[in-house]
Amino acid sequence: MQLVRQKGKLRAYRVRAALAALVVASLGSGCAADGSSEASRPAAPAGSAAGQPAQKGPQGGKPGAQDAAGPAGALSAYVEKVKRKQKARAVAAKKWGLVRTPLAAPPPPAVKPKITTRKGFEVKGGEDLPPVFTTVPTKEKVVFLTIDDGAEKDPELLRMMSELQIPYSAFLSDYVIDDDYGYFEKMQDRGVALHNHTLNHRYLPGLSYSAQKREICGQQEKLEKRYGTRPRLMRPPYGNYNRDTLRVAEKCGIEAVPLWAAEAFPDHMEWREWDRDLHPGDIILTHFRGKGDWKGTMPDMIRRVMETVTSKGYAVARLEDYV
């Protein structure tokens, strides 16, 4: 039985490898027209991005025609689909003032990687509690974009991210989103996952267990009531937590606690690591902010972070596909 499973895994790996190779070859020529450098060419086919609903299969044609074409025909059709999406992304990149066309992320992993707490981020007695991490274990050149709190509600951000097909995740605090819950409903409709950033953005280690429970579980209930889904991920305000934080989070249905490896602003990047660089699987943090809070708009921030990500040869992938 184990031999059968191993053979099945080997066949699946070969199919993924062949698909990736075909897309690399075809997209390389497809993106040359927009003047992108070698680093900005997609390395693999894109998964579904925020704001882009899954595409249905081809319509019309003779019944069973695709089956008759066999695997080669299916691969060819998929490559053409990805090429079309990347050309549309190139047009959107020019519209929104990006220097380079964002790279297409590879397909999501068939099996999500095991997430463990980063060394140095442990709490005593927390071995069985939700893991705290800054980077997702992967060899793919992908990073993950996350946006915190919800204070700025810029409609341009929704349009920009949808047209560029860039996935991202939102970690929301109720005290700044309660004046316009509808904005984040539009975001969710575009495929963005909404996660927990507590009710009032308080310093959790300074609170009692019961007060932390109100902050974390209260926000779980608010988000589930408003948006129909109970979050699986929670980011503590300021990245600060203790054992009670993780205990409460687990009891409220939180499975993991993603922090960040880098932070994006409209005019610069800040880094956690000594080499001040990106690494496969890094989580990037930014905030819902406008000109009143920093030097630029939300679209300015996206232009900055995407120039950094793309120039280094990375694509933005969807965090929930890996965690």
Whether residue 242 contacts residue 204, with contact meaning beta carbons closer than 8 Å, is answered with yes
Give 247-304 pLDDT, tens digit per residue: 999 999 999 999 999 999 999 999 999 999 999 999 999 999 999 898 899 999 999 9
pLDDT for res 299: 97
Q: Using CA atoms, how far apart are residues 225 and 266, in angstroms rounded to an integer?
A: 33
Going by pLDDT thresholds of 50, 70 and 90, the confidence category of residue 114 is very high
Query: Which pTM was predicted?
Result: 0.79
- Residue 192 has, within 13 A of its CA and on its CB side, a CA count of 28
Distance CA 155, CA 323 (A): 28
**Boundaries of every domain in the chain:** 2-54+64-95, 132-321
Residue (of 281, 301, 304, 278) closest to 291 by Cα position = 301
Model pLDDT, residue 264: 97
Q: Which 3 state secondary structure label does DSSP give 103?
A: coil
CA angle (159 as vertex; 169, 152 as ends), nearest 5: 60
Most confident of 78-87, 95-104, 289-298: 95-104
Pick the CATH number of 132-321 from 3.30.300.130, 3.30.70.3040, 3.40.50.300, 3.20.20.370: 3.20.20.370
User: 11-38 in b/e burial notation, b at 16+ Cβ within 10 A?
Assistant: eeeeebeebeebbeebbeebbeebebee
Higher per-residue confidence, 25 vs 77: 77
Report d(CA 98, CA 90) in Å as an integer.
9
The CA distances from residue 245 to 149, 198, 285, in Å, are 18, 11, 20
Q: Which helix (H) or strand (E) holds 170?
A: strand 169-172
pLDDT at 12 over 60: no
